[in-house]
Amino acid sequence: MPKPNILLITSDQQHWDTIGAFNPEISTPHLDRMVKEGAAFTRAYCPNPTCTPSRSSIITGKYPSQHGAWTLGTKLPEEEVTVGDLLQEEGYRTALVGKAHFQPVFTKEPYTSLEGRDKLHDFEFWRDFHGPFYGFEHIELLRNHTNEYLVGQHYALWMEEKGCENWRDYYTAPTGTMDESIQFSWAIPEEFHYNTWIAERSNQLMEEYSGKEEPFMLWASFPDPHPPYLVPEPWASMYDPDQLTVPQAAPGEHDHNPPHFQMTQQRNPDFSEYKETGYGIHGYHSHLGMTDEEHRKAVATYYGMVSFMDEAIGRILNKLDELGIADHTIVIFTTDHGHLFGQHGMMFKGGFHYEDLLRLPFIVRYPGQTPAGVVSDSIQSLVDLAPTFLRFAGAIPPHDMTGVDQSAVWLAPEKAVRDHAICEFRHEPTTIHQKTYVGQRYKITVYYNQTYGELFDLEEDPQEIHNLWDQAEYQSLKMELLMKYIWAELGKEPMPMPRVSHA
């Protein structure tokens, strides 16, 4: 039997509840089609709620504490063996189109970065360079979210090739000239938006590979709906802000949480004691900046960004049909981590291990193999993607991959190979370092060198309003969960080789 193609489609920073099949307030007809034709997993988790660590886990099958890219502003070591390297050994073509973010936006010797700001606008370099890069033999990259000055690389070259000579008008200084105060509605024409570019280039690569009857693993990596909140019309006006549910904090919900939660609800909190490296720390700031009107418009724009991305995903799915390879292609849709857009009184991301940040949209479609229209609560993790891809390709995952092979579950979603997920967040060497154990019902979060923590009952308190960590009647449960967490940590230690002799 020929090896199946693997098409990984990801968004960036997408809340788990932003698929129309499960949320009537948002329109995503093409993702809804995937839900109808495949299996939707409602308990999927990221290994870290930030980009670089989580994305590096996708391609290594290891946790951030194991592969080395432990936080934003770090780099995945280039000697790491990735799923792309191993799939190439099985005869696969491998490609990535869109956002990578395996390396930081600045180069600091000896840690050079191909994605660093000093390289983004070296267009002569990008015109000739398409890989190899972390196991992808072919790459076409961008590094910006919406109008960020980080725009460049292959995407900027494509805009010029398409006749968009004034592309700098749609991006901020110092790269461009766009007014930074503009919010929500973005003047860039759809035909030059990166959604169009990712769909077009992904489709052309799939056509090339299928024409040669070569199996492929292609990652179509969309930068949306990661803020800034900007999207072209008509998507910017698609949703009426007054008709949407706009999340808010529950009164007093942070009274029993660790101090950094409470500080986010202050106007001018002082987080200086948490800073060790001197670099910015995500989420550790006031979250009170938006007016109610701006908040509502931000949610509407975020939904518009998802819907526009969904339209581009539809073009990729339609291309599979046109090429006649849909039945022989495993399509996975997910995101790198979640997003806060008002839940718990917070915005964006950071060291807050709520389901909003850890839980992911996750859909698998494999016609004739994965049952259609199934919704499963079998726990998934992004760290499981690499070993699962290898199993479907007929390869044995290496011993030091600590993710779990989910291939049997994708074919029979009523099964389960996990009873928990582990999520990590280490944003500073010692002061911001936490891990969460998520079980079927309960989740517990521990902090390095701290006696505070979080314990939530996801069955009785799915909104995670009531932290049970210090409540007397839950101390025996806390001890039980701490033991399960320790066992889970021991269980995910890598074993680079099997034991082969007595001594």
> Taking the CA of residue 400 as centre, how many other CA atoms within 13 Å lie in the half-sphere pointing to its CB?
9
Cα separation, 40 vs 47, in Å, equals 19
pLDDT at 119: 93
Cα separation, 95 vs 85, in Å, equals 11
pLDDT at 177: 98
Best CA proximity match to 414, nearest among 378, 382, 368, 366? 378
Specify burial of residue 128 (Cβ count, 10 A radius: 0-12, 13-18, 19+): exposed
- Cβ atoms of 73 and 409 within 8 Å: the answer is no
Span 6-27, average pLDDT? 98
Q: What is the mean pLDDT of the chain?
A: 97
How confident is the model over 389-426, as pLDDT tens digits? 999 999 999 999 999 999 999 999 999 999 999 999 99
Cα separation, 39 vs 364, in Å, equals 5
pLDDT at 352: 98
**402, two tokens:** 């600590």
Alpha-carbon 401 to chain mean position: 19
Q: Percent of the chain having pLDDT more than 70?
A: 100
Residues 6 or more apart in contact with residue 326 via CB below 8 angstroms = 317, 320, 367
Cα separation, 294 vs 184, in Å, equals 9
Q: Reduce the DSSP state of residue 140 to 3 states and report it.
A: strand
How confident is the model over 8-18, as pLDDT tens digits? 999 999 999 99
Span 88-93, average pLDDT? 98
- Whether pLDDT at 1 is above 80: no
Cα separation, 336 vs 226, in Å, equals 10
**314, two tokens:** 């539809």
DSSP state of 114: T
- Whether pLDDT at 280 is above 90: no
How confident is the model over 38-77, as pLDDT tens digits? 999 999 999 999 999 999 999 999 999 999 999 999 999 9
* Unique residue bearing structure tokens 């505070």: 452
Q: What is the dihedral of CA 8, 9, 10, 11, to 10 degrees?
A: 180
Residues 6 or more apart in contact with residue 437 via CB below 8 angstroms = 420, 421, 422, 443, 444, 445, 481, 484, 485, 488
How confident is the model over 355-387, as pLDDT tens digits? 999 999 999 999 999 999 999 999 999 999 999
Cα separation, 307 vs 235, in Å, equals 7
**179, two tokens:** 């007014």
Span 239-257, average pLDDT? 97
Cα dist from 182 to 98, 138, 185, 222, 274, whole Å: 25, 35, 8, 22, 32
Q: At what angle do helices 385-392 and 51-60 cross, to 10 degrees?
A: 30
How confident is the model over 153-180, as pLDDT tens digits? 999 999 999 999 999 999 999 999 999 9
Burial per residue of 210-223, b for 16 or more beta-carbon CB atoms within 10 angstroms, e otherwise: beeeebbbbbbbbb
Tally of CB atoms within 10 A around 251: 8
**2 falls in which pLDDT band (50, 70, 90)?**
confident
pLDDT at 186: 98
Which strand (E) or helix (H) includes residue 423?
A: strand 420-426
pLDDT at 284: 96
